[in-house]
Every structure is written in C-alpha cells, then in structure tokens.
Amino acid sequence: MTTLTEVAKLAGVTAATVSNVLRNRGKVGVATRQRVLEAVDTLGYRPHLTARALAEGSAPTLALMVSSIANPFYPEFALAAERAARQSGRFLIVCNTNEDPAIGRAYLEQIAGTLSEGVLVMNANLDFDDLRKTQARGTAVVLCMWERPDAPPGMPCIAVDFFAAGALAARHLLDLGHKRIGAIIGSQADGVHAARYEGFCATLREAGIAHVPAEARFTRDSIQGGYEAATELLTALPEVTAIFATNDLPALGAMHAAADLGRKVPEDLSVIGITDIQLARESRPALSTVAVPTEAAATMAVRLLRALIDGSAVGALMQVAPAPELVVRASTGSARNRRS
Amino acid sequence: MTTLTEVAKLAGVTAATVSNVLRNRGKVGVATRQRVLEAVDTLGYRPHLTARALAEGSAPTLALMVSSIANPFYPEFALAAERAARQSGRFLIVCNTNEDPAIGRAYLEQIAGTLSEGVLVMNANLDFDDLRKTQARGTAVVLCMWERPDAPPGMPCIAVDFFAAGALAARHLLDLGHKRIGAIIGSQADGVHAARYEGFCATLREAGIAHVPAEARFTRDSIQGGYEAATELLTALPEVTAIFATNDLPALGAMHAAADLGRKVPEDLSVIGITDIQLARESRPALSTVAVPTEAAATMAVRLLRALIDGSAVGALMQVAPAPELVVRASTGSARNRRS
DNA sequence: CTGAAAGCGCTAACAA
DNA sequence: TTGTTAGCGCTTTCAG
C-alpha cells in the first residue's frame, strides 16, 4: 500500500502538500502540483478512505436499514439510493433487519456515527426510541417513506402521500363502475399500509359506496399473502367485481387467486395495486397500479441526509415526494363486462 | 461522542486497559474490569469503528460488486451474503456497477483495501485485469458464481456447476418425451450463460436429439427478453413442444409469450428455467426449474473471503458449491399431451 | 506557496 | 495486571 508520505517523499514535498493538491485546496504551485501528480501516478497511490474518515471526523458511507432486501420493492429503492449516494461520493451499506428490532438496534449501535454518519430508514421495523437515541448521538437519520404527509413523525423524513394513492386506486375502480370492491391490506390494521386503506375507504364513502369490514382482509405483504387473502375473500364474497390491494405484491397474488377460481382478469375481476414495481409491468395481465415516486424519494432522502450531516438543514424536516400517479394497465376493466 | 479516553478517565484507568476489557484480551483484574464496564455503561460508549479499523489496519466491511441489485436474483444472494458477513462481524457495502466497467473500476480503486478489505464479485461485468490489480494491491477478491468448475479462473471463486444445471433441465424435458426443444439463452453466446447452454446441448446430443441453431435465441436476462425471444421462436418454430431458458426470468417471459400465443403451459408447451428465484415459486403456473445453491454460495463466498483476508487461505482457490437440483413444478409436462 | 506539528480514536508492543 | 509509548494514514491549523 502506498501512503501519502511515500508520495510526498518521491515528489520531494511534504504530506500536507500532497494532501492539498489531492483535495484541490488551491494554494499549491503549478510546478509542485505537477510533480506531485506524477508521483501519485507512478506509485499508483489511492487515498486510504478509513484514514481520511478518521482525520476528517466523518465517514464516506451511508447506511440503509431495510427489513429485507429480498422484498422486490427495496432493491429498486436501494439502487436509486446507491446511485444518489455515489454521486455525492458516498458508499451504501445495506442492513437487513429481518423485521427484528434487536438486529436493527444492534446495527444502529455499531454503525451509526462511527462507520456511517447517516442512516436511511426504510421500513425496517425499528423502534422510534432507538432512532431517537441514534439521532441524539449525533447521527443523521431520515425516514425514507413516511406514509402520512399530514402527520409528521417529528423526525426528518420523505413523505409519500399514500392516502392519496389509495384514493386514486379507489377512484379508478369507481370510475369503471365497480360497486362491490374487496380490499386486501398488506399489513396489520394499524400497520404501514393503513393510510392507503384509509384513502381507499374515504373515497368510497364520498361516493356513497358502503365498504364493510367483511370486504377487507389483512395479510402479509407478499404474493402468497395476497393469494390467500383473495382466495378467501372471493370465495366468501363472489359478488365482488374488483379488488384493491395496498401493494403490488398482494395484488399479483390476487390475480393468481382469481385465475385459480376461474375468474378472468379484468373481465370477471379487476385488480389494482400500489407502488408500480418492475413486476407490475411484467405480469400477465400487466397490473394496473398507483405509481409511487421511488427514485425521487430515494434521491430526496439521500439529499436530505447529506444536508442534515453537513448542517445545512436541522431539526425535524419533512419533505413531500411527488404525488402518486395512476397507471392503468390491463388488470382493470369496466364493471359492466362482468359475466356472472 | 464518547471516546475510549473519557471512559478510561471515568474508570480511573488508561485507554489501553479499557481497550483490553472491551476486546476481552484477558489480563485485566476483575475489579477494574467491573469499573470499566460501568463507565462504558454510564457514558453510553460505543467503539468508533473507523478508528479501530485504522489502528488494526483492517476494515469491518466487505464489498459486493453486482451489476444491478434490482435484478431479482441478486437481492436473494445479497441477503444471504449480508447475513454471513454480519455473523462474522462485518458490514456489507453494495456496489451497483450498472454493467459499466468504468463504474466497477472506480469502485474497486476507491474502496478496495481502504474502506473494505475484501470484495465479493457477483457478475458485475468487471475487467479481470482490474480484479487482478485489486488483488495485487493486497485486497482479497472472490468470484461468487463461477460458471465452470472445470475451468478455474485463476482467482479465488465459488464455482457452481451450471453445465450440470443445463444438463439437468434438458434431461427432465427429454424424460417427458420432448424432442423439439427451443432454447433461450439470457446472455451472448460467449456470455455467462454459455455453460448452461452447453450442458443442455450436450445432453440432447447424447440422447441423439438434434438441436440446431434455429432453435436457439440469445437475448437479455430478463422477463422482457425472454418474452421477445420466445415469441419469435414459437412463431418461427410452432412445432417446438418445450422451451429451455438459461435463467428463470427469461423462462417467465417465455410463459407469457406462450399465453399470448394461445398455448397453454404445460399442456401445449413446457417451460423450464434455471436458478429457482422466489418468483419461480410464485408464478402461474409455478415454474419448473433447476435450483442453484444461492445461500450456500453466498456463505461459502464470505467464508472464503474471510479466510483470504486473515491469511488462512492463499492463492487461487476454487470451491465448488453443492450441485444444482431439479425442481419440478407446474410448467413442465409430458410431450404426449400436446394438442397441435 | 510550502513545511512543521498536532491530532482524529483506537490498538499493540513493551515496560513497570 | 496495568500504564507508557508509538503509531495507523490522513487532514488541518499555523508559521515561515
């Protein structure tokens, strides 16, 4: 490993000077600068990031806390976050908490403020208390997808209006003439998908459509969860002509359930999800959904984190990401076509 | 931020002693030990990982170079790799190269040996030269899924017998009575999927089945790529009764193509892939495939990397992961059922 | 414009 | 068993 000092020696200057030319601190003579650059080149010198971090008192890494990177939504977010991080010269450490608050806490304790100056929190089932403790120790934290712009969490976050997303989906179904609409919620009633479901319910209510608890199912946020819930729902309530799922994965599962029950999508049943993950485009039929601004949220989150770190932003700021948008594809159709 | 020295002061000892009790170096009196632990506790001290790394001359992070974490296969690998890393007290930095050798090179130059002592390379389109340079600078490198156990790359790697995987898939189709089998290869002819295709071809050859270039299509490793290739293939060669894809994603695309062409799977067309990603279980019909030992490979890769780093392994070692296994699900069926 | 010196927080000999 | 003394490789005042 070549060190700064070695480069300095070769160039006949001192380490400080080399450092200066490398950081473009100006105040270095053009001739010396040239010599230093040559030395760097012939020695193949690369700065030691760890040493630099220690000296600067800051680390070039950001941590992304996520329940499991294997959930199809997260990689898309992670990819965008990593790109944003890289563009500002940082590296991204992924921390899968596996929904286990203990793992999350352990990560936070180890990494925050020492290996990484900032933490991106993506739905990792973390204790708010732990997060606050992390903040208190001087580490920047931003919640990446806060579901309620109307109720700031008292912590820096990027908010995505999931209530609106739910409302958008409901409106689309309503416009298509659906009146009996099943709902599949990919979390507990008070879980992360609550706002979406509320948006859905509110819109139905405004339209004078009754939505009763019997038409809703709470399940896991997965294809399999959606499959099970939809199977149950459609069996119990065959008169349902459309299904609203709070996420694309359960929506996909609902399509499978419909197929197994002999109901064609969209002729016999419309299905809509939320998020617009890659798979939504690639399913058969392609899934209608409400697109959520994943990339924008990731970019904003990284930017906010950086601002928090360098002190150009302070306090509990919330930034609202662009509004969700309806994406009509092939899984939703007019209610009139239903063959019963 | 609390430092070692502050803890030491409070406990009435010196930094070295605190370090010793924290690292369980023994040789610390039980009473002092007690006092130190209390001080650590009241101060809420956490070791500064960057400082420790610099002092130890090694970093607690591993880098994973991958083309894009958004490809559905990689997150599953990354998850396993991260778990293995965490279990040995390391963090995982993900580096998406985006198939761009320049990005890959930049990452390697920056990170290798400074922020991270080891690099896991997962099919990231990296120059071998760059990797060797990285090695030469003293950073451990392991290739995570080398496709040819029979041809070691002269670099530490975990090999997965993809030739056997292709052969297994072919054998399954043959056993089902298929004779006209289309092949969809998710890479260039000389790309990463070559070994799988060779295994397929060899098995057909042994069985006395002719496989001609017209029955093969090279495409991208994605659902969309598989869809396009299969559409073309099935249109040109309708007499094909089965499709072998070198990866699950294109296989899934082939199923979509079949559906759009009015061919039922598996009645009118059998489809098989390789890998056994999560989605294969969740598609309709569920995809028959050849499961590749993702988790095992990840664990082995991390272990090998660690061994390389601590010097208990040297040179160009290749470790072979468990053999791929056929997983029969619903997308493959007997050739006799074909309605033509 | 360049050098000297101090220090980031921790570990690792070596002494005491 | 504990303290002392040096660094790890880099950045950053502050002099010259």
Predicted local confidence at residue B249, as pLDDT: 98
Predicted local confidence at residue B148, as pLDDT: 94
- Distance (Å, rounded) from C-alpha B178 to C-alpha A340? 39
CA of A17, C1' of D15: distance in angstroms: 15
Q: What is the pLDDT of residues B316-328, one digit of tens each?
A: 899 999 999 999 9
Q: What is the percentage of chain B residues whose pLDDT exceeds 70?
A: 99
- Domain boundaries, given as residue ranges, for chain B: 4-47, 57-161+293-323, 162-292+326-337
Does residue A258 have a pLDDT over 90?
yes
Q: What distance in Å separates residue A316's CA from the closest CA in chain B?
A: 21
Q: What is the pLDDT of residues A86-145, one digit of tens each?
A: 999 999 999 999 989 999 999 999 999 999 999 999 987 888 999 999 998 889 999 999
Predicted local confidence at residue A332, as pLDDT: 98
- In this complex, which of A48, A50, A94 lies closest to B94 when CB atoms are compared? A94
CATH number assigned to the domain with residue range A4-47, chosen from the 4 options 1.10.3720.10, 3.20.20.70, 1.10.260.40, 3.90.1150.60: 1.10.260.40
Predicted local confidence at residue A338, as pLDDT: 45
- Can the peptide bond before residue A213 be classed as cis, meaning omega within 30 degrees of 0? no
Q: What is the pLDDT of residues B197-229, one digit of tens each?
A: 999 999 999 999 999 999 999 999 999 999 999
Does residue A32 have a pLDDT over 50?
yes
Q: Taking CB atoms and an 8 Å limit, are B60 and A96 in contact across chains?
A: no
Predicted local confidence at residue B25, as pLDDT: 79
Q: What is the pLDDT of residues B249-258, one digit of tens each?
A: 999 999 999 9
Q: Domain B162-292+326-337: give its CATH code.
A: 3.40.50.2300
Tokens of B107: 């990452």
The whole-chain average pLDDT of chain B stands at 95
Give the model's confidence band at B340: pLDDT under 50 very low, under 70 low, under 90 confident, else very high: very low
Q: What distance in Å separates residue A76's CA from the closest CA in chain B?
A: 5
- CB atoms inside a 10 Å sphere around CB B314: 10
Q: Which nucleotide is nearest to B27 (CA to C1')?
A: D1
User: Rounded mean pLDDT of B186-205?
Assistant: 96
DSSP-assigned letters across all residues of A47-86 = --HHHHHHHHT--SEEEEEES-TTSTHHHHHHHHHHHHHH
Q: Which of residues 29-88 of A touch strand C (CB under 7 A)?
A: 29, 31-33, 54-55, 57
Predicted local confidence at residue B337, as pLDDT: 52
Cβ–Cβ contact A87 with B under 8 A: no
- A4-47 shares its CATH topology with A162-292+326-337: no
Q: What is the pLDDT of residues B77-103, one digit of tens each?
A: 999 999 999 999 999 999 999 989 999
Q: What is the pLDDT of residues A271-303, one digit of tens each?
A: 999 999 999 999 999 999 999 999 999 999 999
Q: What is the pLDDT of residues A15-28, one digit of tens each?
A: 999 999 999 887 78
* Fold entry, domain B57-161+293-323: Rossmann fold (3.40.50)
User: Rounded mean pLDDT of A330-335?
Assistant: 96
- Top pLDDT among B337 and A199 is at A199
Predicted local confidence at residue A123, as pLDDT: 84
Give the model's confidence band at B338: pLDDT under 50 very low, under 70 low, under 90 confident, else very high: very low
